[in-house]
Amino acid sequence: MFRSHVKLGHPLAEEAVLVGCGLLIMAWLAPQVWSFQGQLPITPQSLLVVLWPLLWGWRTGTTSVVLYLVLGGMGLPVFADGAHGWQHFTGSTGGFLMAFPIAAVLVGWLSEGHSTMKYAKSACLMLLGQCTIVVLGLMWQRAMIPVEASWWETMTSLFPAILVKCALGTLVVVFVGRLLTSHKTPA
């Protein structure tokens, strides 16, 4: 976690800037859908809701995620593929959306206290956050819609997308970590 590297003079100003930036990034990138030939489409939505608390801690990350969900519920097209509205919280995708803050708290809390984030740990936390969202979302979805595929088949089909998101997230953590710590001079 790199929260201690952000110095704007006042802790509330720092928090507001990080929450605002997280909200803007999620609102901008989360609606996108990345399609790869022969694969399920990948949305950066779950990547972002795990990455932000990993970078800045559970309070900042979870606040950004909750505000993102509220904006989407209120009608801004910020969910995957431009979806919006409260009906997405009660439909088959509701479990995924409601898992976002749970994953944010979990990943953010586990990342705190480590000003020098080890990149292997950040990759593991990204994987934990992605799996939390997928498992909780699928539990909800399978309770609402009969699914013929087994859990194993479903997870196997989703795992490549999960790994891509974890790899991208880890690269961002490496980039942000190097950017924020490169200005330090050796003692």
**What pLDDT does 114 receive?**
59
For residue 80, report the phi and psi dihedrals to the nearest 5 degrees: -55, 135
What distance in Å separates the CA atoms of residue 177 and residue 119, rounded to the nearest whole number? Answer: 9
Span of 35-39, 130-134, 183-187 with lowest mean pLDDT: 183-187
The pLDDT of residue 85: 95
Q: How far apart are CA 47 and CA 169, in angstroms?
A: 7
> What gap in Å lies between CA 50 and CA 58, rounded to an integer?
10
Cβ-proximal residues to 83 (8 Å cutoff; 6+ apart), any chain: 31, 72, 77
CB of 18 closer than 8 Å to CB of 74: no
Q: How confident is the model at residue 183 (pLDDT cuts 50, 70, 90)?
A: low
141-165 pLDDT, tens digit per residue, is: 999 998 899 999 999 988 988 999 9
CA 64 – CA 75 distance, rounded (Å): 17
Burial 47-73 (b: 16+ CB within 10 A, else e): bbbbbbbbbbbbbbbbbbbbbbbebbb
pTM of the model: 0.90
Collapse the DSSP code of 42 into the 3-class scheme (helix H, G, I; strand E, B; otherwise coil) and give the result. Answer: strand
